[in-house]
Amino acid sequence: MKEQSVIFFDIDGTLLDHDKKLPPSTKEAIFQLKENGHLVAIATGRAPFMYEDLREELDIDTFVSYNGQYIVLNGEVLHTNPLNIDSLIKLTETALHNDHPVVFMDHEDMKANVPDHPHVKEGIESLKIKHFPTHDPYYYEGRELYQSLLFCPEGEVKQYKDNFRDFDFVRWHPLSVDVLPKGGSKAKGIEKIVEKLNIPKERIYAFGDGLNDIEMLSTVNNSVAMGNAEEKVKNVAKYITESVENNGIEHGLKLVGLL
């Protein structure tokens, strides 16, 4: 058996195709990696409760959630990095004035600060998950939140970037951006796991396709961009594989010599 490597996979557009389906070749490749003694992990912008079914299907219990803000290693919470609640309350007040809904998210659930907004409906439905945020404008009270969703069109997000310097804003949908603690990223989350496992950087791999994967792919030694990735993402990756629909994970793992 080869020395153990750790392979981090993004979910949307990487493990899952455009229809949020797991290609059979991807599932087979993941289990082959595990049989070969490697550690398979997920690195995603999603909340942990948004991909429980996928983790069960692939038997994965190590993951970087919320773009690095909630990290679990072998089923145990390793690190958390919550949002600054005072700044989030101020942002929410501004957003409410602008008719820009906000969704509050912890490791267990998500709640919207306004009921039944069409932008929230459109954005969340695009994820094709079974969870949908119910209304609770004070969900931030008495708990740590690791990410929020600000539903704000592209041309209107600058005011938030200029005025709320505690946060990073990463667009994931034409109508919405992730609101994250400043400097938080998948790359930082991966770093926490790698430090704990004491595995050399030469045996760390990452696959991704989205803008929130750029820091991860530009930091990890063996980075693979999906064929369906944006050009900005491909430009920072060491390797480029086929699209997710065209057996991209299997092809990429063979490309880097893990299969």
Cα radius of gyration rounded to whole Å, the chain: 18
Written as six digits, the tokens of 41 are 């992990």
Written as six digits, the tokens of 88 are 């989030």
8 A C-beta contact, residue 17 and residue 245 = yes
> Does the CA dihedral 167-43-20-133 come out positive or negative?
negative
Torsions phi, psi of 110, nearest 5?
-140, 145
- Give the span between the Cα atoms of 130 and 172, in whole angstroms: 18
Active site residue 162: no
Give me the catalytic one of 10, 17, 106, 168: 10
Closest of 12, 66, 75, 65 to residue 39, by C-alpha: 75
Residues noted as catalytic: 10
